[in-house]
Amino acid sequence: MAIGEELRSGRFWRGVLAELAATLIFVGVVLGASAAPGPLAPALAGGLAAGGLACSLGGPQANPALTLALLCARKLSALRGAAGVLAQCAGATLASAAARAALQDDSGLVTRVSAVGTAGTALAWETFATFQLALAAFATAEHAAPQAGLALGSAVAAGALAAGPFSGGSMNPARSLGPAIVTGVWDDHWVYWLGPVLGAVLAGLSYEFILAPGASREKLGACLACRDVALVETPSLSPSSVAHGPPAPPTEQREQRTP
């Protein structure tokens, strides 16, 4: 689809608004729960929010790392990916501004490298936690499981609990960017972009080209040649096809259901 045609598409703008709204809700819920002591409340709140969004809003990514993984797997056009990331960052910033205004103590809003580890340790845990989250996202979309919301919510909660003691368990660059913008605290902020993006991209490529039932050398070759992966996919469902109705035409980039 041409850029001009895509910009005139109502589906395109509905998708952008869904990303903004979903990220605002997800980040707002997590930041509100961060007022409670300990990592359990934010982890459970994030998991429940991710599961609910996966079931109610058609599966927006609400996470720049997942959107970039879809781009690397040739599942989104560059325009849709860029618009999605901008919408996610805007939603997270709005949620962070509201949370800072509502909470008396905003020290818990910013994700920080824990005193028990280093930036390298935090980076490793953010990469691992996002890897398992993205792998769950790709796999649930592949099988169109009715329990997708539960699976994705569980992956968010598990990753947050595992990485929380070391990095805060962000797994989402937008979740870390919003509070950094409104508070001005940018300590080790690069960790919360590099780790999640690396983990999500590795998971997406691993699933699409190795683990998925429709994985093949032809798909990998199409991706490396920057061609439309949909043209060489098998008829089985894949994360490139939204689990709502018939597949889209090959010329139209398709989205994955992700949290």
Which tens digits make up the pLDDT trace of 82-97? 999 999 999 999 999 9
pLDDT of residue 74: 83
The reply to whether 234 falls in a domain is no
Here the tokens at position 165 are 């003691």
Query: Where residue 219 falls among pLDDT bands split at 50, 70, 90?
Result: low
Indicate which CATH number applies to the domain containing 9: 1.20.1080.10
Evaluate whether 39 touches 165 at the Cβ level (below 8 Å).
yes
The reply to whether 237 falls in a domain is no
The reply to whether 140 falls in a domain is yes
Question: In the 3-class helix/strand/coil scheme, how is 73-142 assigned residue by residue?
Answer: CCCCCHHHHHHHHHHHHHHHHHHHHHHHHHCCCCCCCCCCCCCCCCHHHHHHHHHHHHHHHHHHHHHHHH
Higher pLDDT, residue 134 or 232: 134
The reply to whether 245 falls in a domain is no
Q: Give the CB-side neighbour count of residue 46, counting CA atoms within 13 A.
A: 27
The reply to whether 256 falls in a domain is no
Could you give the percent of the chain with pLDDT greater than 70? 81
Q: What is the mean pLDDT of residues 95-113?
A: 89
The reply to whether 251 falls in a domain is no
Q: What is the mean pLDDT of residues 43-51?
A: 95
pLDDT for residue 73 is more than 90:
no
Query: Where residue 7 falls among pLDDT bands split at 50, 70, 90?
Result: confident
pLDDT for residue 54 is more than 70:
yes
Give the structural domain span for 169: 3-225
Q: What is the total count of domains within the chain?
A: 1
The reply to whether 13 falls in a domain is yes
pTM score, whole prediction:
0.83
Q: What is the mean pLDDT of residues 175-197?
A: 96
The reply to whether 26 falls in a domain is yes
Query: Where residue 51 falls among pLDDT bands split at 50, 70, 90?
Result: very high
Query: Where residue 1 falls among pLDDT bands split at 50, 70, 90?
Result: low
